[in-house]
Amino acid sequence: MTEKEYLAQGLTDAGCSKEAVDGICFLYQAGNYSEMLRQMKKQRCKLMDAMHESQKKVDRMDYLIYHQEKQMV
């Protein structure tokens, strides 16, 4: 597996869109590593935002479970 293939697979596994993967791989091939890293960090921020949204949903579900259990006592 080449370094570019490794990068593309890792980005795909991390949940990046095909568009993002292609763009980052293009930057890698072009040797524009600073922009490549900037785009990778941008994708990371998107993942963190999604994780925080998921955490809010889990917290809400935990509260609803707690509330319902309290009502049953």
pLDDT of residue 73: 83
Q: Residues 56-66: what's their mean pLDDT?
A: 98
Question: Confidence band (pLDDT; 50, 70, 90) for 72?
Answer: very high
pTM of the model: 0.82
Q: How far apart are CA 55 and CA 27, in angstroms?
A: 33
What are the extents of the domains in the chain?
A: 3-72
Q: How far apart are CA 30 and CA 42, in angstroms?
A: 19
Q: Which residue has the tokens 């809400």?
A: 60
65 CB-near residues (< 8 Å, 6+ apart):
none
Give the up-direction half-sphere exposure of residue 65: CA atoms within 13 A in the CB hemisphere: 6
Segment 6-60, tens digit of pLDDT:
999 999 999 999 999 999 999 999 999 999 999 999 999 999 999 999 999 999 9
